Structure 1
Amino acid sequence: MTLQMSPLSSPPLLVLLLLVLAAFRLAHAGADLDVGVDISSGDTASVAFRKFYMNITLAHLNPDCNASFASPVINGHFPAPAIHVVKNDVIQLHVSNDPSHNFSSSIHIHGIRQYGSNRFDGVAGITQMAIAPGETFVQEFQVLNQTGTFYYHAHVGVQDDTIQGPFIVHESQAHLENYSKNEIILHWGEWWHQSFHDRFDYYMSPQFIGDGGPDSVLLNGRSIYANTSISAASSDCKGFTYFDVEPNKTYLVRVIGALTFRTLGIAVQDHAMTLVEIDAEPVQPHNVSYLELSPGQRMALTLTTGNHTAGSVFPIVSNFRYRGQGLGYTPNGYGFLRYVDPAAASKQESVSFLTTPLVKDLPNNVFPLADTPGWITSELKPGASYPSDFILSEPATRTIKLALKEIIMPDNTTRFITNGREYVAEPWGNATMSLIDRVLAEPDLGALDATDGFSLAHQTYPLGLGEIVDLVFQNVQLPAGICVLHPWHTHGHSHYLLAEGPGDYVHDTDKDIRTYPNPIYRDVSIVYPRVANGTENCGWTKVRLFTDNPGVWPVHCHITAHMLQGKMVVLEVAPQKLDGYYVPGGYQTPKQEQGASSDENVAANKPTDQTDENAAEDQADNAQDDSRDDSYKEGADEYQDGGEDMQQEDDGGAEAKQEGAADEYEDGHDTTDAATSSKVSDAKEEDTYDKEMEDEGVKGG
């Protein structure tokens, strides 16, 4: 039985909606990075269709050589296999939740704005219902005008500790085929010596009294627990991660903060770093001595190796910032650059290679002893010309201040309330219908709060298309009287980082403050702890976004425990614009011949040892191929958008014609490129993975 959504009498995939909005959206074509490597423009006149299969299972993981825990993984891998695609590709993810365990899940592609594909943002309870055991959910979207460093992770419970993997969008097919020669991925994560079920229960229970942080910091899924003797480590202990590099060569290093709690400082011994990208947006090259990386943030930098002999080893080190900053270096958050002869073949090194003396000569003077709110962000400049002059120069159409305070509930559980309200959308499994479906089924917003415009009926902040909106994230002291850092992530829209300050944000006096003279476009911004006398409010950060993307979009703290406890709001941006459109993908139930019922398989709940075997090309394949073909045929010639039309051009593209905010756009802003304006029906099937990706376990087809 198929639970797939039915086709509706409208144009195909909501990519066309994006074209309507293109005349006034913030998106811009990614820029080549001048790093001395081959990043060619390639052929962007056509759109590739790439299909990937993900199977969510349990595996016994012991990434820090201490103790094994059954943990959710993708295709048996931790971290999940890296996915590499090209700008403007159409992506289809077949996400199957194995019937042999008892938890639901979902997959979010972090940082991809999902223009026109809100239903596939992967947020359980909001854009979809969680994928139950034995169920498959097909997510289909186009990576419109975005390039750079992203990642994907689960968006249910604390599963994002282990369901996490790089998602890299290349500028061209040529770059995708050659990236492995000169790119390095530093994928930072955390590991708790506790099962994911127990940790989730702790956060949500009356027994919660705080989080002491992870037991280990992982680099590319590996480390050695600080209290574990290397000589005593088991034979399957993989040790620390190292990266083979050649002398006198420039590498593009992609840094992913798949962290769920800590903010880290990161540096490489005796190697200069030049920052060129933040949250998949280019910045002008800027030399840095260390990186500040919070949960959800990504960066890219260039690193040029020295004239060192083969066998030379240099540590990649991490340092606790803010929470635990006084602890200095993380006890085991290390990796290594190892120099090799270019002619020599790389081989796996034994654990004995990674002995304690390798970490004795660390760059102790790199990390500031005191916390430095703002890092070097105020010194950065955008690396591309954003089509955003009026967005940054005009006053905001509205400002929403979000003061999120931790309180103890009557049942002694810990929750966050926003502007005095508890988040009650129940996204963690109690809702029976996703928020987007509820909003479309019951469009009446009811009375809006006179102070901040909140809709109690929808539990959202309703916004119109084409609004300039300032969000002020107000930090509030915890019940213990301390103030901590919070990284805030905006789904569906990147934002401009405008300002930050101490104490309480007062709009009349603070509305014109700009502490960041050249606002960076990003999707995760930090609210720093900045205490001011006489108030429990302890620091604020203001960001600006332009509502060019219809849907219901979460905005939340990316410390997972805080999000679970309610540190989240939802922006409702003209969702009626999504209604009446064909949505490829959706839910599927397993075939009858697959075996026992879901209930029987859930009862089994048997984790498997981690393995390199790929999941079967699941039952979603045949049903979804037909829907994909239908959705990418030539669509209707007109798009009805409140009386405004989108006319197809003779060349098969489309020119957006919309009044209102679009009229404010200055002439000459080029917000589309050839690939975006080409017909989606030109999408062609391509091989979706190379040998390396196949070996990693993400099966494409």
Structure 2
Amino acid sequence: MINNQVPGDPIYVYKGERVQVRVRNNILPDRPVYGGVGMQVSVHFHGIRQISSVDSDGVPFLTQRPLQPGESFLHEFNVPDQTGTFFYHAHVGLQEMSVFGAMVVYESEASDPTAIVAKDKLADGPFTYDDERIIALSEWWHTDRGQFEAYYLGLNFTRIFEADSFLINGQGIYDSGIDLDSYCKGYAIIPVQQDKVYRLRIIGAMTFRTVGFAIAGHKMTVIEVDGDYIKPYNVDFLEVSAGQRFSVLITTNNTVDDYGINLVRRWSDNLPSATNGHAILQYQKKTSELVPWSFDDETDLPAGTRILSRANLQPTFPLNDTVHWFWNNLEPYFGKDPIVERQSNRTIKLRGSQAIQNGMTRWYINYISFMEGLENVILYDVLNKTRPLPQISDRNPITGYDKTLGTYTLDHLEIVDIVIQTTHLEEEPCHSHPWHTHGHSHWEIAYGNGEYTEERDGRIRNVPNPIYKDLTLVYPGESEKLYASPDQKEIGCGWSKIRILADNPGIWAMHCHNSPHMYMGMMLAFEESPQLIIDESDDVKDFQYIQKRISKGNNTIKTYAKFLKMVLKSTTNAFAYKIPAHVINCYIERADIFTTSTSTEMDYLAKIWTEIFDLLFANQNVNVK
């Protein structure tokens, strides 16, 4: 849990702010742990691109050491160019089952519900609405996490177990015979007022399943996917995969009553679609009385899935799953990015597969299973210059994998197309996989059935208006054959091609966000332009030292010069993107001032320093002592 609750407290920030979050591991080694025996912890801020702050991405042994009991880690990062709906979650083992919480980045005070007067509408980008609600979807198992982790990596693994409950905002009912109290609160209630427009921020914090989400009697207008605006698109239900986020607008123009919010399984083979994941959209009476509700014991659903009594509490879902759902109908709000029209520098193929080695089942990417058995943190070795730089000659021309480094290497500013190939074993179904990219959002530009080949499929562009997102569900497609070939035990059954622009130097994970799959090896690391990775912590220390000196007065030209060198030393500097070019040019043009310390020159520098300080850190959470 985070701060003794599930979900954890929401984190609210404004675009452009500097964020500080301290994560402390309070799991005590001598205390019994419900939900797992693993004591290490790390936290990832899902969807935040961590520009120039890869050390805060929270991936064990890629960007930091996992925290031992009693240890803490201060995540510091800017959010310079993102707004929308995000979340944070644990990135060790299967801890994200219960270690997660919402994160919202507001465009400005105009989109912050706590910063406006009651009569004002909220405005975020091109959209206006009256208020907003967070709806986090998750799963819950009655078995301890540690037992699952041992089972998934052990000799007795046969399948991934279904969740005992699906939760909405951490609440649900498994046994309808149990009395509700302060500990078991029942279904989550989402309160709304009649005749208003609400933005629902829907977070897919599931561990395993893709779910359908719908609200009885209410259509939804999708306006955001993974932190990016899209042109409004009306739907009756959402298909939400683990790691995905949507914002939808709903209009509460029905009669005052309770309306059911339901979850169903999608892409679950032959399992029943019904779940016990329910919540209540509750229209509030003017007297603020809650509308009573009760169980319907006559509802013909599997055990543990009884819902509420009124007929209007039951939304409907399509009976069949649809490959690629509504994605081809979506459009970026501000138009297609020119990057998607350009020729890529290269294409790499990631072929996922499942196999048994030494009696244990693992998931593989290009026949390599990523297991968290690393001893050194890759980022630390890069910053300490104890790790060799990538060489193009060491890179596999098809997969992009560098077997010497154990990573997939990316060059600065290259456009890379990544084909994610799904496979299945003979006589087993093809499964969907939600793929998440750290450090980058991406565009899905094509998809298809069977096995991808560059000669046949390389020119396919069947996504008309690719949107910018950080998670793509690779749908199970049709196989082109029934049996595997002699050299491959698995059969290609569908693929998606995504495109990234390598504009963010760092060590970045890419993985299936089905947590058991990732835990069993379905993950890889991109090593992007390691020679350009900036250790932002050193820049912050320099900045704080200079500010301390300047605040004391009696400054010399060398004090200011040290700051100027920090700003000008690299265009990829952690602060450079926030300093206007004309200010930097002004410094360059006045370089001769470093030869003298006259009062005029010092006054000029002090004035410029104040402007820079305001540009970088005005109204932001930076501690200068």
Normalising by the smaller structure, the TM-score range is 0.7 to 0.9
Who is 1:436 aligned against? Answer: 379
1:522-578 Cα deviation digits (max 9, x unpaired):
000011111223161000011111000000111100000100111111111101111
Q: CA separation in 2, counterparts of 1:93 and 1:642?
A: 24
Among candidates 568, 578, 585, match of residue 638 of structure 1:
568
* 1:266 aligned residue: 213
Task: Say whether the 8 Å CA contact 2:261–2:313 is kept in structure 1.
Answer: no
TM-score, normalising length: structure 2: 0.80
Superposition map of 1:360-399 within 5 A: 361=311, 366-385=316-335, 388-389=337-338, 391-399=339-347
Question: In the alignment, which of 137, 143, 153 is matched to residue 79 of structure 2?
Answer: 143
1-structure distance, mates of 2:454, 2:91: 33
Q: Which residue among 249, 254, 273 is the counterpart of 1:328?
A: 273
Superposed displacement of residue 361, structure 1: 2.7
SS at match of 1:358: coil
**1:91 corresponds to which residue?**
19
C-alpha separation in 1, matches of 2:50 and 2:520? 26
Residues 335 and 558 of structure 1, relative CA distance in 2, 3 Å threshold: same
- 1:434-471 per-residue CA deviation (whole Å, 9 max, x = no partner) reads 12223442124463224323111211111111111101
Question: How far is the alpha carbon of 1:170 from its aligned partner?
Answer: 0.6
State the 1:158 CA deviation.
0.7
Instruction: Give, in angstroms, the shift of residue 579 of structure 1.
Output: 4.8
Structure 1 residues 235 and 283: CA distance shift in structure 2, 3 A: closer
- The 5-angstrom pairing of residues 428-577 of structure 1 reads 430-439=373-382, 440-445=385-390, 447-478=394-425, 481-534=428-481, 536-577=491-532
Answer with 96-105 or 462-471: which moved more.
96-105
Superposed CA deviations along residues 85-129 of structure 1, whole A, max 9, x for unmatched, are 111110011111126236011110000000111111011111111
Please give the alpha-carbon distance, in whole angstroms, between the structure 1 residues aligned to 2:410 and 2:202: 33
Q: Does 1:683 align with 2:617?
A: yes
The alignment-based identity, stated in percent, is 34
Give the drift of 1:652.
Answer: 4.0
**CA distance change for structure 1 residues 480 and 197 in 2, over 3 Å: closer, same or farther?**
farther
Provide the rounded CA distance (Å) in 2 between the counterparts of 1:646 and 1:107.
27
Q: Name the counterpart of 2:126.
A: none
CA distance in structure 2 between the aligned counterparts of 1:569 and 1:628, rounded to whole angstroms: 40
What is the match of residue 190 of structure 1?
139
Between the aligned partners of 2:3 and 2:307, the Cα distance in structure 1 is 36
Counterpart Cα distance in 2 of 1:569 and 1:559 = 14
Q: Which has the higher contact order (CA 8 A, sep 6+)?
A: 1
C-alpha deviation, 1:138, in angstroms: 0.7
Q: Aligned partners of 2:208 and 2:349: how far apart in 1?
A: 24
Choose 232-241 or 290-299, whichever is displaced more.
Answer: 232-241
Q: Deviations over 1:377-429 (max 9, x none)?
A: 1011111246x31x11221101011001111011x111122222333xx43xx
Q: Pairwise mapping of residues 189-228 of structure 1 onto structure 2 (< 5 A)?
A: 189-225=138-174, 228=175
Q: CA deviation at 1:212?
A: 2.5
Asked whether the equivalents of residues 150 and 298 of structure 1 are also in contact (C-alpha less than 8 Å), the reply is: yes
Preserved contact between residue 350 and residue 419 of structure 2 (Cα < 8 Å)? yes
How do 1:16-415 and structure 2 match up within 5 A?
73-98=1-26, 100-101=28-29, 103-176=39-112, 177-178=115-116, 182-225=131-174, 228-232=175-179, 236-309=183-256, 312-324=257-269, 326-330=271-275, 332-341=276-285, 343-345=286-288, 358-359=308-309, 361=311, 366-385=316-335, 388-389=337-338, 391-410=339-358, 412-415=359-362
Q: Distance in 2 between matches of 1:630 and 1:151?
A: 35
- 2:365 paired residue among 408, 411, 418: 418
**Stretches of structure 2 lacking an aligned partner (at least 5 in a row):** 30-37, 117-121, 123-128, 298-305, 485-490, 551-559, 589-610
Cα shift readout 1:145-195 (whole Å, capped 9, x = no counterpart):
100000000000111011100000011034322479610111000001111
Q: What is the CA-CA distance between 1:254 and the residue it aligns to?
A: 0.5
> What's the offset of the Cα at 1:344?
3.5
* Partner amino acid, structure 2, of 1:272: K
> Cα offset for 1:275?
0.5
The worse-fitting range, judged by mean Cα deviation, of 175-184 and 270-279 is 175-184
| Pairwise CA RMSD | 3.3
Stretch moving more, 355-364 or 182-191: 355-364
Distance verdict in 2 for CA 1:293–1:654, change over 3 Å: farther
Measure the CA separation in 1 of the matches of 2:548 and 2:50. Answer: 20
Moved over 3 A (4+): 178-181, 230-235, 343-347, 349-357, 362-366, 579-585, 623-635, 640-643, 645-655, 677-682, 684-688
Asked if the contact 2:379–2:507 (Cα under 8 Å) also holds between the matched residues in 1, the reply is yes
In structure 2, C-alpha distance between the alignment counterparts of 1:242 and 1:192, rounded to whole Å = 22
- Is the Cα contact below 8 Å between 1:99 and 1:135 reproduced in 2? no
Q: Kindly tell me: are residues 367 and 450 of structure 1, through their superposed partners in 2, closer, same or farther at Cα, counting changes over 3 Å?
A: same
Deviations 1:52-101 (A, max 9, x none): xxxxxxxxxxxxxxxxxxxxx11111110111111111001111112623
Q: What is the alpha-carbon distance in structure 1 between the residues aligned to residue 549 and residue 295 of structure 2?
A: 53
Whether the aligned pair in 2 keeps the contact of 1:190 and 1:216 (CA below 8 Å) is yes
Between 1:200-209 and 1:151-160, the stretch displaced more is 200-209
Q: Letter of the 2:143 partner, please give it.
A: Q
**Equivalent residue letter for 1:395:** Q
| CA distance in 1: counterparts of 2:567 and 2:348, whole angstroms | 38
* 2:593 corresponding residue in structure 1: none
Classify 1:123/1:499 alpha carbon distance in 2 versus 1 (closer, same or farther; 3 Å).
same
State how far apart, in whole Å, the 2-side matches of 1:523 and 1:273 are. Answer: 22
Cα pair distance change 1:581/1:340, threshold 3 Å: closer
Residue 131 of structure 2 aligns with an amino acid whose one-letter code is: N
CA contact (8 A) 2:18 2:620 kept: no
Q: 1:631 to 1:319 in 2, by over 3 A?
A: farther
Matching residue's letter, 2:264: N
1:549 and 1:562 map into 2 onto residues whose CA distance is 27
Rounded to whole Å, the distance in 2 between the matches of 1:628 and 1:159 is 41
- 1:608 counterpart residue number: none
**How far does residue 582 in structure 1 lie from its aligned partner after superposition?**
3.7
8 A contact 1:111–1:491 mirrored in 2: yes
Q: Distance in 1 between matches of 2:344 and 2:195?
A: 48
Give the AA of the match of 2:278: Y
SS at match of 1:384: coil
| Number of aligned residue pairs | 544
Q: Aligned partner of 1:94: which letter?
A: R
Contact conserved, 2:260 with 2:315, CA < 8 A, in 1? no
Unaligned runs of 5+ in 1: 1-72, 586-622, 658-676, 689-701
Counterpart code for 1:443: P
* C-alpha contact (below 8 Å) 1:584/1:631 kept by paired residues: no
Contact in 2 for aligned 1:150/1:166 (Cα 8 Å): yes
